Amino acid sequence: MSKLWQKNSKVSAAVEKFTIGNDQAMDTYLAAYDVLGSIAHTTMLSEVGLLTALEQTQLKKALIEIYQKIQAGDFKLDPGVEDIHSQIEMMLTESLGDVGKKIHSARSRNDQVLVDIKLFLRAELISMSASVQTFFTLLQEKSEAHKNDLLPGYTHLQLAMPSSFGLWLGAYAESLVDDMTMLQAAYTIVNKNPLGSAAGYGSSFPINRKRTTELLGFETLNYNVVYAQMGRGKAERVTAMALANIADTLSKLSMDACLFMNQNFGFIQFPEELTTGSSIMPHKKNPDVFELIRSYCNRIKALPNEIMMMTTNLPSGYHRDLQLLKEHLFPAFTQLRNCIEMASLMIQNMEVKKDLLEDPKYQYLFSVEEVNKLVLSGMPFRDAYKQIGMDIEAGKFSYSTQMKHTHEGSLGNLCTTQIAATMQKVVASMEIVKVEQQIKQLLKL
């Protein structure tokens, strides 16, 4: 097996198999980003005199060809090759000879995988932000469409006060604003360049770390080289927490949907093709999509703790423990995006039951409304509360289903526009277009 670090001695086959583990499969996530890091690194090496202009041109052309193969799905690690770094250097050496061997000057696999992961996480966070925004917009559209359709509100799963489908859907839209704020925080931490920290203690080569930061579109760099290595694990954990927050919103929405579909509630329904049946009960329309979203998302919610435990008690410097951080985190992005996509499909096709609260079984939802009417007529609140309570006990309670709520965020004033503006402010702070333009520039010959 080809290894960048091997000298003359051979490693036990058992040790080799155990230490590599699932890393080759995980490296496929990083392939394109390893190429981007190498383009930036070799560009900088030529500018500080460690590569000639011709060598840099040859390397960049070859690296872009590899990048194009990766984008086309025509790339894989050869049998016996340890990791993505070895594969790319081997391909460059095969096509360019000794020039290909020069790309590793002034860097270690440690900072190479660090920059790969940072670039991967940044790209995935950008993609996730787009998915969240799309779902957010749908929730807001449906919230406005159903703002006048009343819905029972619950506390302790007991009937509490009138709500509306608009208020319910709008709550999840605003929840995504806070989730996006957490995602933006993770993006800020991820968007720092560790390249040049080498094995964690810097290099005696006259490298220009600010230049690779600029070339890769990072906002800034991890200045301290020891911290650049210590950031491995932290970046993953903070990112996992951002995903967990989105997952928590989806999980709660899914639980609501499962309850509201139940025949004893009967608040919402979906086309038959979006539900599943039973092998023996012909009447069943099961909420399998929401149940699976709930379970996938609850598993994602465990990720931050998993990463925290895997990095517990690690001193500064690199440790092989960190290799395992990829295995559950990397696939979680696709899993969560799939959940958002399926939740969008369900909400897009959701039908709500009209005039729910006309049913007398919901009459006590309006008790607070009747208390408030007495208060508005001049009665002290405690007296009004007692009066309505006595009427309920005596079976004399009367009420109206007409609602008049005007304050911000209430039934009659959802503040949809203000919530949308808050979301846009968070997204704009990420300056995603700037990053995407810089990567396009990096890939130009």
Mean pLDDT over residues 199-206, rounded?
Answer: 93
Amino acid at site 55: E
**Cβ-based neighbours of 181, under 8 Å, separated by 6 or more:** 426
Mean pLDDT over residues 337-344, rounded?
Answer: 98
Tokens 């009459």, located at residue: 363
Residue 5: pLDDT band with limits 50, 70, 90: very low
d(CA 199, CA 97): 26
Phi/psi of residue 80, nearest 5 degrees: 90, -5
Q: Reply yes or no on whether the pLDDT at 278 is more than 70.
A: no
With b for 16 or more beta-carbon neighbours within 10 A and e for fewer, the 91-104 pattern comes to bbeeebeebbebbe
Amino acid at site 10: K
What pLDDT does residue 53 have?
96
Assigned token pair, 100: 């290909």
d(CA 180, CA 174): 10
Q: Reply yes or no on whether the pLDDT at 8 is more than 80.
A: no
d(CA 56, CA 62): 10
pLDDT in tens, 98-135: 999 999 999 998 999 999 999 999 999 999 999 999 99
Q: Are 216 and 36 in contact (CB under 8 A)?
A: yes
What pLDDT does residue 9 have?
59
d(CA 213, CA 5): 26
What pLDDT does residue 438 have?
96
Assigned token pair, 97: 């000879």
Domain locations in the chain? 13-104, 109-148+164-205+224-358
Residue-averaged pLDDT of the chain? 93
* Tally of CA atoms within 13 A in the half-sphere of 117 that contains its CB: 29
d(CA 376, CA 272): 47
Question: Virtual CA dihedral for 13, 19, 21, 22, nearest 10 degrees?
Answer: -130
Assigned token pair, 385: 């509360």
- Residue 220: beta bridge partners? 192
d(CA 122, CA 125): 5
Neighbours of 355 (CB within 10 A): 9
CATH topology of domain 109-148+164-205+224-358: Fumarase C; Chain A, domain 2 (1.20.200)
Q: Reply yes or no on whether the pLDDT at 223 is more than 90.
A: yes
Give Cα separations from 18 to 13, 141, 317 (angstroms). 9, 51, 22
Give Cα separations from 146 to 164, 261, 355, 369, 414 (angstroms). 7, 17, 12, 21, 11
d(CA 412, CA 403): 8
d(CA 204, CA 249): 48
- Residue 193: beta bridge partners? 221
Q: Reply yes or no on whether the pLDDT at 422 is more than 90.
A: yes
Pairing state between β 192-193 and 220-221 = parallel
pLDDT in tens, 60-111: 999 999 999 999 999 988 887 878 888 999 999 999 999 999 999 999 989 9
Give Cα separations from 411 to 36, 149, 276, 361 (angstroms). 50, 10, 34, 21
The most confident of the ranges 283-292, 306-315, 383-392 is 383-392
Which of 179-193, 207-221, 319-333, 362-376 shows the lowest per-residue confidence on average (mean pLDDT)? Answer: 319-333
Considering the segment(s) 13-104 as one domain, its CATH architecture is: Orthogonal Bundle (1.10)
d(CA 38, CA 444): 14
d(CA 190, CA 218): 9
Q: Are 161 and 150 in contact (CB under 8 A)?
A: no
Q: Reply yes or no on whether the pLDDT at 343 is more than 70.
A: yes
Mean pLDDT over residues 282-297, rounded?
Answer: 90
Q: Which helix (H) or strand (E) holds 159?
A: strand 158-164
Residue 153, SS3 per DSSP: strand
Residue 81, SS3 per DSSP: strand
d(CA 173, CA 229): 37
What pLDDT does residue 1 have?
45
Pairing state between β 150-155 and 192-193 = unpaired
Give Cα separations from 149 to 169, 267, 287, 401 (angstroms). 12, 11, 22, 12
Nearest Cα residue to 183 out of 98, 231, 111, 245: 245
